[in-house]
A and B are shown apart, each in its own frame.
Chain A
Amino acid sequence: MPRSLLLFALAAALSLVVATGALASAGAQAARTCSAPKYPGSGYFTSLSVKSVSCKTGRKVTLAHDRCRTAGSRAGRCHKSVLGYSCSEHRQSISTEIDGRVTCKRGSKRVTYTYQQNI
């Protein structure tokens, strides 16, 4: 086998390995939907999705953030990190309820949940 052909085959195999690894890595980091935990009050967790983390951890972070959020008052906000995650919230609220979308990040790990809470 000529040397140039051997080098070409080697390069092609290497590219294949790198491409497969990249695809696998991307797959591991894609967000996936989980079943949301039961809301500990009057309302619902209406969605939960996680990225680079298990659904079980996602549910733990969700509940921990909700506890932090409602510790001061039912319509309160959480300004601390939760289980090492830093969270931000976007909400719509009226006198009777709050609709919120919370995103918690820890490095590449991400937990996103939405909730509807009756006040």
Chain B
Amino acid sequence: MSPPTDDSLMNRFDEHGLRRFRARDAVIAVTLASLLLVLFEGAAVRRAGEQMDPGVGRGVVLAVGKPAGAIADALPLASAAHSVTGWLSPDGKLDARDSFTAASAVTGGDAGVPPVTADAFDPARIGAPPAPKRRLHTLLVTGDSMSTPLDSEVSRLLVGGTVRVIGEPHLGTGISKSFLVDWGQLSAQQVKRDHPNAVVVFIGANEGFPMKGPGGREVKCCGADWAAVYANRVRRMVDTYRQRGAARIYWIGIPAPRSAARQKISRVVNEAAEVATQPWRGQVRVIDTGAIFTPHGYRDAMKVGGVESIVRQPDGIHLNQKGAALLAATLLQQIRQDFVY
């Protein structure tokens, strides 16, 4: 054997008679492995190609993967291989008690998950036929100081009709405090006294007070714990006002106030109202005043009917007459979707 002309050291095996395979053997082994891969897992090559980003690489893999996948699909070998090797990576056993068809798994039992009912869906949002419009008899406009002069503007727009409009602002009050009035009690009294079939609630200017949370501990504004306590109070009020579905509620969010400290509170108050009303979105409309008055943060003035107009009071909290008139018109558009009057 002549010595190699390069620096190859392969001859060290030959010197000791240790070479067993030839290059041809390697080519045969790779070809055989490729053939087995195509027969048993051709679909995996195709799937890998389909998951790649578009490009040359994807094209090359798919060029091989598509015919390989077609061959594998036509043969029962992949399924047989899965059955034979399944014990290597078994699936976790499923418990029949966790099935959707076992009612307790979703709506009660140990899980304690409250059920979602049809009341949670606004027909308009799911493309279902709207509920038939009802006649509006009594409209209650209530809340804290935010609800005035909205109440008088709504009355003005409905004057001369058959709708009885009750304006009931409770100045300086709040849901997070009971210093002046407890809104849980007040809402129950309003319903008992007036039986309104539409209720407009505009409240949230005086919030941010600590409240008693679970276990009686005091919860300070404005984290998720406080938001949850606040939302639970809102939910109770809404449930009272809706009168088992006999009434519609128009819960008006707070437009961003000027002060940064108040913005922090109003943001949580608005989000809590959104969360609180979820179970009855077919009966409660949450009106986003931020989209109307403060889409990019606080502003005193905006275009109303093409004319730049001041819409806020000097305190940077309340709407002025012009702003309230604009909101009243928007509100009545919403009310007209549910009622005739």
Contact = CB atoms under 8 A, between A and B. Distances in A.
Interface of A: 42-44, 46-47, 92, 94-97, 99, 101, 114-116, 118
A87 B304 CA distance: 48
B245 interface: no
Given A96-B208, A99-B177, A116 B261 contact: no
Contacts of B180: 46-47, 99, 114, 116
A101 B145 CA distance: 19
B317 interface: yes
A36 B155 CA distance: 25
B262 A96 contact: yes
B259 A99 contact: no
**Mostly helix, strand, loop or mixed at chain B's interface?**
loop
Contact of A116 (B171, B208, B315): B171
Given A92-B179, A99-B172, A116-B206, 7 more contacts: A44-B145, A44-B171, A96-B208, A97-B208, A99-B180, A115-B172, A116-B173
B172 A96 contact: no
B265 interface: yes
30 contacts: A43-B172, A44-B145, A44-B171, A44-B172, A46-B171, A46-B173, A46-B180, A47-B180, A92-B177, A92-B209, A94-B208, A94-B209, A94-B210, A94-B221, A95-B208, A96-B259, A96-B261, A96-B262, A96-B265, A97-B206, A97-B208, A99-B172, A99-B177, A99-B179, A101-B179, A114-B179, A114-B180, A116-B171, A116-B173, A116-B180
B268 to A, nearest CB: 13
A10 B172 CA distance: 56
Closest 3 CB pairs of A and B: A116-B172, A99-B179, A46-B172
Nearest to A94: B208
Nearest to A91: B179
A114 B178 CA distance: 13
Nearest to B144: A116
Contacts of A92: 177, 179, 209
Interface residues of B, number: 18
Given A95-B261, A97-B206, A42 B172 contact: no
A75 to B, nearest CB: 13
Interface of B: 145, 171-173, 177, 179-180, 206, 208-210, 221, 259, 261-262, 265, 315, 317
A43 B315 CA distance: 9
Contacts of B173: 46, 116
Contacts of B179: 92, 99, 101, 114
A101 B172 CA distance: 13
A64 B283 CA distance: 48
A46 B180 CA distance: 8
A75 B205 CA distance: 18
A11 B209 CA distance: 60
A101 B210 CA distance: 18
Contacts of B221: 94
A46 B174 CA distance: 13
A116 B180 CA distance: 9
A85 B259 CA distance: 36
Contacts of A94: 208-210, 221
A114 B317 CA distance: 21
